[in-house]
Amino acid sequence: MDTYARFPVALVRGRGVWVWDEAGSRYLDCVAGIAVNTLGHSDGSLRRALARQLGQLQHVSNLYRIPEQEQLAAAITARSCFDRVFFCNSGAEANEAAIKLARKHGHSVRGIEQPLILSAQASFHGRTLAAVTATGQPKYHQGFEPMVQGFRYFPYNDTAAFEALLATCEAGGPQVAAVLLEPLQGEGGVIPGDPAFFARVRQLCSERRILLIFDEVQIGVGRSGRLWGYEQLGVEPDAITLAKGLGGGFPIGALAVKASADHFQPGEHASTFGGNPMACRAGLTVLEQIERRALLPHVQAMGSLLQQQLSALVARHPERFEGVRGWGLLQGLVLRADAGITAPELVRAALQQGLLLVPAGPSVVRFVPPLVIQPRHLRHAVRCLESALVGLKPQPQA
């Protein structure tokens, strides 16, 4: 079905940070399946691990213990502030699990009959009905009404507005089960969370025993330069959702919770494919390789370099760009309102120059390359982007 506005390009092969189309043209991949291909394309360790797993056992039901799933849960909890993990297959599905968990928390811990979930404007939480309702962008709701009940929205990073909404909702007693937030808004325009705002939200949630849930589907698993996005903000949420980068290209999603937020009983939530041996082998391999190859300091270094290179580009074209923002290898190049081009137009022009990029809204060009990207690739990416930009100008500068 026609659910995607696709580029007329079919990618058929990949190696590291490079992909090739049907015609044999090569592209530098700064999209990585939108923050998915953590280790790059056709990574040897992931190939070997999955080939071995394929020869051993592919899928079994969650009716039985799944050792690979137990190992991946142990790997996640050992490296985070969480104690238990539920596995599924995508970001939206992980957020659905979080929303159900939040409602149970509202009923059982706060004694609320019709619990509310507060989420941010310009957020993105996925396309299933509850996840898209949590998404604070009316354009994603349009045509799919009625939306799911029990969601309220506030402007991101706005402490006063958040406090006001919470006060209104709770004027007559407990009403709010959870606050759902991205530590950095990805799709919404690459907007990093403000530590002061998050500290205040954490404090208010703790005082009232409201669950604080972070959607780390895009920023989690090393992309920010820390393993988890919450480490960038200095606050611990009660739960996080993961997906995109966790399987390095193999579909997997997860909800990780602290013991105090572990409200699911047997039979209350499930997923047929969730946490099957193939997906968990992929997740285990990604986490293992992030450590073995010291990818966290690498992402920090590459993120700084990319930010530097993009800042220099901004300085050379002040009539086009407003600036650069992001964490690690999730960076957004922000176009001026009067730039005369939109982010989708610039992305299209970059494709012609052999560079894959993805917009984050109408005025932000997003860089989310594989975490294994090297300095020479980043310099090449910025050169390609500059060629694309110059090609878009009616009067190229001397």
Strand-pair category, 176-181 with 211-215: parallel
Which stretch of DSSP H or E encloses residue 96? helix 91-108
Residues 392 and 345: beta-carbon distance below 8 Å? yes
At closest approach, how far in Å is the CB of 133 from ligand PLP?
A: 13
- Pick the closer one to ligand PLP by CB: 16 or 253: 253
Locate tokens 């394929």: which residue?
54
At closest approach, how far in Å is the CB of 222 from ligand PLP?
A: 15
- Pick the closer one to ligand PLP by CB: 43 or 215: 215
CB atoms within 10 A of CB 387: 16
Which stretch of DSSP H or E encloses residue 148? none
- Pick the closer one to ligand PLP by CB: 92 or 179: 92
Q: What are the start-end ranges of the H helices in 142-194?
A: 159-169
d(CA 121, CA 124): 9
CB atoms within 10 A of CB 219: 32
Q: Interface with ligand PLP by CB under 6 A: which residues?
A: 90-92, 95, 124-126, 182, 186-187, 215, 217-218, 243-244
At closest approach, how far in Å is the CB of 334 from ligand PLP?
A: 18
- Pick the closer one to ligand PLP by CB: 174 or 182: 182
At closest approach, how far in Å is the CB of 90 from ligand PLP?
A: 3
Residues 390 and 397: beta-carbon distance below 8 Å? yes
At closest approach, how far in Å is the CB of 19 from ligand PLP?
A: 20
At closest approach, how far in Å is the CB of 126 from ligand PLP?
A: 4
- Pick the closer one to ligand PLP by CB: 220 or 277: 220
- Pick the closer one to ligand PLP by CB: 320 or 325: 325
**CA 241 vs CA 131, 171, 213, 244, 303: distances in Å:** 12, 30, 8, 10, 23
- Pick the closer one to ligand PLP by CB: 90 or 309: 90
- Pick the closer one to ligand PLP by CB: 190 or 333: 190
- Pick the closer one to ligand PLP by CB: 215 or 320: 215
At closest approach, how far in Å is the CB of 214 from ligand PLP?
A: 9
What are the b/e assignments for 136-161, b being 16+ CB within 10 Å? Answer: bbeebeeeeeebeebbebbebbebeb
ω into 192 cis (within 30 of 0): no
Nearest residue relative to ligand PLP (C-beta):
91
User: 250, 236, 165, 239: which is closest to 203 by C-alpha?
Assistant: 236
Residue 346 has which token pair?
A: 């610039």
At closest approach, how far in Å is the CB of 201 from ligand PLP?
A: 17
At closest approach, how far in Å is the CB of 295 from ligand PLP?
A: 20
d(CA 149, CA 130): 9
